[in-house]
Amino acid sequence: MRRAQPPRLPLAGLFMFWQSFSARTAGVRLADMIVVPSIDLRGGRVVRLKQGDYARQVNYDVDPVEVAESFARAGATWMHVVDLDGAKEGRPVQTEMISRLAATRGLEVEAGGGIRQREDIDRLLEAGVKRVVVGTRAMEDWPWFDALVHDAKYGGRVVLAVDAKEGLIAVRGWTETSSRSAVDVAKQVSDWPLAAILYTDVAKDGMLQGPNLQQTRAVAEAGKVPVIASGGVGSIEDIRQLRRLPVWGAIVGRSLYEGKVDLAEAIRVAASP
Ligand code: AMZ
């Protein structure tokens, strides 16, 4: 969908109201996009993997709590935290650190990696995490996931991770691929009370060479659940490109740590009309 240019003041306010109203009723995203900085944790440290490969780990010599505070200072409203030990081991491992991060003033936290049980979710929500991300168990036990998402207790608190390798969903720390396609799953959950679908292109993740715009668009247009795009952002131009898609948010990770993207600038670009 082409975005109309907003008129100059004083009509701008009216236009924004109309835009917001029409976007809501049409079931598409609002005009701005949320930039979601991310922290990937392993052994309590901030790391990034290339293409999700645990053997290709980059360590950053930074304090996760300070990083989260710097995100808030730059104007971020949401932060994405991945427990990479958890995703690999199939049980939450970094819960204590995630609880500390969830206490960051001004930042809402979504967190995942290794969540397999309701108790894992309850623990994170009690620790102040606003939304939990579930990938593997959803793909391997769809009835469990269906019941979870439709339980009023978890309404709007669950994000479905759709991590795709060449369109097919990857699970268990991205070491295995399922036979289902990302677009099919997005269609299937179209009317579910999910907080979001987190769509990650595994081949792009941690590579700083641009997101998979085509697949991201296909997933975003497949259903009504807001989509968070993840994987590959390496420049402000990538933020501009993603902003043209009907996505709710975009995850930015490695490019922040390596100084390729300035978070405050990314937030400005993502929000400007
Ligand atoms: O980089 C990886 N190998 C990796 C990763 N970043 N493996 C899983 N994850 C993330 C997913 C999602 O946020 O993007 O872990 C979460 C899903 O974990 P699980 O354990 O529910 O599949």
User: pLDDT tens, position by position, for the chain (273 residues)?
Assistant: 444 444 444 444 444 444 444 443 444 444 599 999 999 999 999 999 999 999 999 999 999 999 999 999 999 999 999 999 999 999 999 999 999 999 999 999 999 999 999 999 999 999 999 999 999 999 999 999 999 999 999 999 999 999 999 889 999 999 999 999 999 999 999 999 999 999 999 999 999 999 999 999 999 999 999 999 999 999 999 999 999 999 999 999 999 999 999 999 999 999 987
pLDDT at 29: 43
Q: Active-site residue 40, yes or no?
A: yes
pLDDT digits (tens, 9 = 90+) for 9-66: 444 444 444 444 444 344 444 459 999 999 999 999 999 999 999 999 999 999 999 9
Q: Whose CA is nearest to atom 4 of ligand 1?
A: 173
Q: CA angle, 78 as apex, 169 and 211 as ends, to 5°?
A: 40
The whole-angstrom separation of Cα 93 and Cα 115 is: 10
Q: How many CB atoms lie within 10 A of CB 192?
A: 17
Q: How far apart are CA 171 and CA 186, in angstroms?
A: 16
**Cα torsion at 174, 179, 180, 182 (round to 10°)?**
40
Clarify whether 163 is annotated catalytic: yes
Contacts of residue 66, defined as CB under 8 A and 6 or more positions apart, other chains included, come to none
With vertex at residue 164, the alpha carbon angle to CA 161 and CA 170, rounded to the nearest 5 degrees, is 75
**Of residues 83, 85, 163, 205, which has the active-site annotation?**
163
Most informative mutation of 79, 85, 174, 180 for ligand 1 (most atoms within 8 A of CB): 174
> Encoding tokens for residue 219?
């997933």
Name which residue sits closest to atom 18 of ligand 1, judged by CA: 113
CB atoms within 10 A of CB 11: 11
* Range 12-271 has CATH code 1.10.3720.10: no
* Length reported for the chain: 273
Q: Find the 237 Cα to ligand 1 centroid distance in Å.
A: 26
Q: One-letter amino acid identity for 56?
A: R
Helix (H) or strand (E) holding 168: strand 168-171
Which residue, judged by its Cα, is nearest atom 2 of ligand 1? 52
User: Which helix (H) or strand (E) covers residue 178, if one does?
Assistant: strand 176-181
